[in-house]
Structure 1
């Protein structure tokens, strides 16, 4: 099957955006070693594709919510048909059909973007000054030469991290400059790819179905790791497209996840999975250290019997009064009342006696 229709479509969108930036004067020379008209054309190619795919993205989120709501029933089927994989698959497919849930809908937007990626990869790969076929897919010779010499911080957008010195010399570029710019972009591409998957998993939780959980792990770890190798063969223009697409995805997912929050059961499960916080001190100044907590607990245990003794004594005297007996005066209290206060002068009992009559 020929992919020329994809190359024509990608080229048409790219050239339309470049014509727009050219009309408003953005493409007049380089600024900071960058031809911003072509960079903006690639960025707004992403915007165009994502706007077209936005309704499908919303359906993807709704399908994921339906799949999450079915997780309790899926778990029951797994327990019921444990060891019988064939029957389990039939029952699960019947459940999905009955509830109108599509497990493949979660990957549909990504699959639809693959042709766009391949079309842009092929288009930018052929942007070489020595390419004799300059007027393919709706390009003019002038547009082709202009794009072939377009740069990002003095690195050609058709250059790659793995390009040879001869290839970069034909593009009029420095090997060091291209490797630095491409290396930074590859690192950003890997980081943003990981964050897009992590954002979705943190909001929706891990799937109960083993197959879906495996897909989540592949999206979270497998794809970013694979970009360490494949990123070296991507032209800089393709990496710009990938990074812009990831940033757009992060913003779009944030909005959609607020608009369509996960089911309460999933939210509670995600909250329970979060690590417990370290208890703070009574003053709220920080976490309680284990040694200090144990000492405080032991001190409270020893102080508790001492506090209980007056209450016990009071209860004993109270019972005596209730039975008709007079309460017994407490000797310690009397001795404290008679004893002089510290620092007071001694009292002479004879001095205050009245004089004897004769």
Structure 2
């Protein structure tokens, strides 16, 4: 079943479509033919601003895991032959520290409907039974509804492909910086874990690069959205991490 065709979701999506359309009209005197692209950027920034508390919760959970990592490692070494007691002591540690092993997960799940709704605006050809006219607008001669693959396949690769390449370059740089940050801020890996599990953090650190692949096959509107939202996330996490590091050092 297509989740976007589910009546409640379709209604919310249609409202979001009307909001972006109205925003594009409002920006037209300033942005001209780029008003729709500007509206996509603006609505993305607005959504990310509203989701700052989620980012704050995720970074707080990250610092909690780093802070508790040495204590958890000590428990694992002390009770490695007593798994039931290890589980009990682990939960007692979390309770004493007023923390949760699932900290940051619930806020992340809460933001999923918001992110998927906004993303749907930029990939669907029709919304709630009517055409998605956002995807018919152009950015420097490239239709927002065309993907890089379809655009190049149409034979008019240059100079329009530069629009895609610029956005993909931004997403790739952000992915690289995000991977570095993830490795730098990951909690220490326990020596008790199997070698495969010890390498899991390094493997997962490559996940941001999957966004580059998606960005190359989705409509340009979605590529623009991904460029803005990933850049925002990178900067937001850097600011929040710096703030928490200063708070811990104080």
Under TM normalisation by the shorter chain, which class is it? 0.7 to 0.9
Pair 242,108 (structure 1): closer, same or farther in 2 beyond 3 Å: farther
Residues 171, 227 of structure 2: 8 Å contact kept: yes
Asked whether 1:186 is paired with 2:189, we answer: no
In 2, Cα distance between equivalents of 1:209 and 1:87: 21
1:223 aligns with 2:203: no
Residues 46, 118 of structure 1: alpha-carbon distance in 2 compared, 3 angstrom cutoff? same
Q: Work out whether residues 24 and 35 of structure 2, in 8 Å CA contact, stay in contact via their aligned partners in 1.
A: yes
Q: Distance in 2 between matches of 1:24 and 1:238?
A: 19
- How much has 1:79 moved relative to structure 2? 1.4
CA contact (8 A) 2:59 2:237 kept: no
Residue matched to 2:23: 20
**Which structure has the higher relative contact order (CA within 8 Å, separation 6+)?**
2
The 1:247/1:26 distance shift into structure 2, 3 A limit, reads farther
Q: Which runs of at least 4 in structure 1 moved beyond 6 Å after TM superposition?
A: none
Q: Secondary structure at the match of 2:29?
A: coil
Structure 2: distance between partners of 1:164 and 1:21: 24
Following superposition, the deviation at residue 162 of structure 1 comes to: 2.2
Structure 1, gaps ≥5 residues long: 31-35, 128-132, 265-358
Match of 2:43 in 1: 45
The aligned residue for residue 250 of structure 1 is: 234
Check 1:186–1:55 CA distance in 2 against 1; reply closer, same or farther (3 A cut): same
Per-residue deviation, residues 206-253 of structure 1 (Å, max 9, x unmatched): 3124589766434422331x3454333221111111111122123322
- Structure 2, unaligned stretches of length 5 or more? none
Which residue of 67, 82, 86 maps to 2:80? 82
Q: TM-score, normalised by structure 1?
A: 0.55
TM-score normalised per structure 2? 0.75
Residues 94 and 234 of structure 1, relative CA distance in 2, 3 Å threshold: farther
Once superposed, what is the RMSD of the aligned Cα atoms?
3.5
Q: Deviations over 1:246-266 (max 9, x none)?
A: 2212332233223221745xx
Residue 121 of structure 2: aligned partner: 123
Which structure is larger by alpha-carbon Rg, 1 or 2? Answer: 1
Contact 2:179 2:208 in 1 (8 A): no
In structure 2, what is the Cα distance between the partners aligned to 1:191 and 1:108? 29
Number of residue pairs matched?
240
Q: Would the alpha carbon gap of residues 107 and 179 (structure 1) be closer, same or farther in structure 2, given more than 3 Å must change?
A: farther
Q: Which residue, out of 217, 223, 226, partners 1:239?
A: 223
In structure 2, the CA distance between the partners of 1:245 and 1:105, relative to structure 1 (3 Å rule), is: farther
Contact in 2 for aligned 1:7/1:120 (Cα 8 Å): no
